[in-house]
Structure 1
């Protein structure tokens, strides 16, 4: 048992020092970036912990700090891709690398602290953020690709795969927290808040996620019938039309109902719904 703990601590320590090297390299590009500065500060704290012989029973807290470093560094890298408008030559490789980096905390938590659920190790908000960041990255990439008609004609299968992965990540984000059931004995003084929670809407990001899913489903429906991809079993594919219709219907009901006048525009959602239904 002690050997397992030492191996776990060593594995995380190795990754921390690897990330430190990466962060230092990125800081040569932009020394004053807030996200890289924050990542560097957390890494210094983590390195100090190991140098002082910290106990491995602190693994959950170490993983949470490590995850924040991942979120900060990848955010800097994502912004570079967005600013460069996703260059065709390098974007596929860089996006897969970012997706892998954002998946790693969940994998490490499951492997290094197997006695606890991943969401209890990392925290619900952090786990939501990991799914959101992967889904939002693919949304932004697909949004750019959607404007490159000639590229899509030659790469429909790749485009649809990105849409499918993105929708899956965003759907997982919405499912991290169980919706609050109004018959659970919970007392709400605000019926609008109660309805939001019952629908699984806990923040503005949840609403934005729903709109992203709707748009991606619309793009998929537009192109999936023309896809020549036969490598994926039909039963494994998402039902984009059904998912988009269900999600956008809920989005419109909330934004035109309790959130009316709060700045949420439903025109695009209604236009997409009219096509999907």
Structure 2
């Protein structure tokens, strides 16, 4: 991509990110609520990765941190894949918009509920593409709390052993998880060094900077890992960085207030 194209795409995605956050907040204002914190932190990562995958034949995105389904549905809605606003049927009986992405959703390659599985699916998918001589890269989006699952590291070990190329692992490193903060529960230490130990080329970026994400996603080759530093509940000043923002159910009035004052986002 030329710098002009990247800048134009970044502008589009930044507008989409604002709209996605509004949709996620609307989803949190439903009867069931949603995983707000991790959904708001992964917005730019999802949009940038999907946009890059769109430009490459055969490329696919796997949201391994499936509890951020509200962000995925918001992205699919904003991108025109889902015509109905996700908050209308999210989490309701019989709806395809389940709390974790299921196989009946357009744009969902694998259902991801139990954490760690998406990373393993992505490795298997990337390996199959190579064995079948089919084009395309595979992108797996995981959470930093999710890295406590051994399956993620087993999948990376397979990727290293089988020399799986065209695989990129993106870590939504927002520092939080269901029961508190990652650093208090199971510190990751030097995450970049750990990922390099599996043969990955690692880059650390601002996970809310669309230009930085686009640059990281379009450079390099082979097994890659991007540590995207993000803020839990990004855009809602009263909830940002708080572990209690992990799962939220709010009223319509609060949703209106949050959408009217999205923090750190320029309209």
TM-score range normalised by the length of the shorter chain? under 0.3
Structure with the larger helix share: 1
Structure 1 length-normalised TM = 0.25
**Could you say which structure has the larger radius of gyration?**
1
